[in-house]
Amino acid sequence: MQIVHQTEIAGYPLLARGKVRDIYEIYPDALLLVTTDRMSAFDVVMRRPIPYKGVILNQITLYWMERFAGLLPNHLLEYEARSFPRGLRAHQSLLEGRSVLVRKARPLPVECIVRGYLAGSGWKDYRASGRVCGLSLPQGMEESQRLDPPLFTPSTKAQQGEHDRNITAAEGMALAGEANFRAMERFSLEIFRQAGAEALARGVIIADTKLEFGLWENRLLLIDEVLTPDSSRFWPAKGYAPGRSQPSFDKQFLRDWLERQDWDKTPPPPDLPREVIAETGRKYREAFAALTGRELSLPEDGGK
């Protein structure tokens, strides 16, 4: 298994190189999504990868897409590299575990964020204004306090190097269409509810998450990543108490380290020390095991 920072797959058009994923057109109606080991924080890609992080993200997404296949369809066509088209066989060792063949859906230009707890940018917003993404909350709430009901706070989907922008429901409907927006809101909240209950039974709190949807033959599909440490905030339920930040199984460790650096959150980012890379990778592995109840067979040395 290889550490993958960037891919170059000859013979297929590279349609996009995102913060984490490289996307190739395999057929006119099918794409190859390769989840690399690139790490982004504050919408900026770090210069050094987190070894095998892409495999972990891909496998968590596959777990949740299978889990919610009965709730709504997703874009998956194939996830076993040995079953990919013949032209990709030379790249099997690079693609194994970290790639999927998907329907070429049209992504809707709204990121669907569900917040179940007052944390991160939501907590900063609340302290400054008493609101979260324009939604008023009661006075006197504490950091990490549970939000009941959870908040649906859509945002724009930022291009690489740019930052997401929170939007109102009216703006979301203008971007995605009213029917699509309402369906995305409904499915996002239901996925959050069901996943939250399942994770809590395993000792994990899902504090918030970001989901994405697309259209294929006028059908709404769940696309991209689902409930991963890149798109969500995971806390151990044991020891949870509002009024402070919580230990996490996600990239919050890296965000916290970056916040302590002399950095204005624009490129280039600080170089990540080896110990920060190793600890971030460890937290991603912990997240996979805690959420799925499974273990991944990955090299233990990470960057060697």
Question: In this predicted structure, what is the pLDDT of residue 251?
Answer: 87
Q: What is the pTM of this model?
A: 0.92
Structural tokens at position 176: 């995605």
> For the chain, which ranges sit under pLDDT 70?
158-163, 300-304
Cα–Cα distance measured from residue 172 to residue 230, given in angstroms and rounded to the nearest whole number: 23
Question: In this predicted structure, what is the pLDDT of residue 32?
Answer: 98
Cβ-proximal residues to 197 (8 Å cutoff; 6+ apart), any chain = none
Centroid of chain to Cα 183? 20
Closest by CA position to 186, among listed 164, 166, 169: 169
Contact 102, 216 (CB under 8 A): no
Cβ-proximal residues to 161 (8 Å cutoff; 6+ apart), any chain = 43, 44, 267
Question: In this predicted structure, what is the pLDDT of residue 213?
Answer: 98
Domains delineated in the chain: 107-265 (3.30.470.20)
Cβ-proximal residues to 192 (8 Å cutoff; 6+ apart), any chain = 114, 116, 150, 206, 209
| SS3 assignment, position 35 | strand
Question: In this predicted structure, what is the pLDDT of residue 22?
Answer: 98
CA angle 199, 148, 65 (to 5 degrees): 35
Closest by CA position to 141, among listed 121, 113, 117: 117
Over residues 68-104, the pLDDT tens digits come to: 999 999 999 999 999 999 999 999 999 999 999 999 9
Question: In this predicted structure, what is the pLDDT of residue 157?
Answer: 79
